[in-house]
Amino acid sequence: MTQTVLHIDSSARLSGSVSRDLTAQVVERLGAKEVIRRDLATPLPLLDEAWIGANFTPADQRSDDQKATLALSDALVAELERVDTVVIGAPVYNFTVPTTLKAWIDLVARVGKTFQYTEAGPEGLLKDKRAIVVIASGGTEAGSDIDYASRYLQHMLGFIGITDIELVAADQQALDAEGSVQKAKDAIAQLAA
């Protein structure tokens, strides 16, 4: 049974959002004891030179300013470390994820915290976690050659160690909105709690 869920929404639409509606249904289906909510409608800061400098300074050598610069990133990583399931709502904007979700990824993909480099290549450090990614699109078919959103999320989650990934797709809504959303709801009903 799912104990703790990190529920992330990234749609710019606060009402009428298919991905938000579906992630809420996923979280309800999981019946978690605790849900940590992260709504990216309020954008996270983008990486800048100060952040890069702080991140690549060894932790024991960081100034107070550098620690403050990384505080939000540290908190986002701590959220990931704490949960056993991550639910991500990702509408497809221009064939990929919204910039707000990309900003979250940039802040949590941290060498030495969520991944490390080994002689065998990169190794994700967030193991034994599950991710359920809800994709909503107007015209892009999930898994197609032009779907850079779900493939990117699967790659990045795997890169940080989350390899148990399930995709719920309400894709190609421009062709059949009702059928697309129903297909996603049917997939949610089949999810293991």
Query: Which residues are known binding-site members for FMN?
Result: 11, 17-19
Instruction: Measure the CA angle with vertex 171, ends 97 and 176; round to 5°.
Output: 145
Q: Which residues belong to the annotated binding site?
A: 11, 17-19
User: In this structure, are residues 162 and 172 in contact, taking their beta carbons and an 8 Å threshold?
Assistant: no
Residue 19: CA atoms inside 13 Å, Cβ hemisphere, count? 31
Q: Which two tokens stand for residue 20?
A: 């938000």
Exposure string for 116-138, b = 16+ CB within 10 A, e = fewer? eeeeeeeebbbeebbbbbbbbbe
At 3, the amino acid letter reads: Q
Angstrom distance (rounded) from CA 33 to CA 75: 21
Angstrom distance (rounded) from CA 84 to CA 81: 8
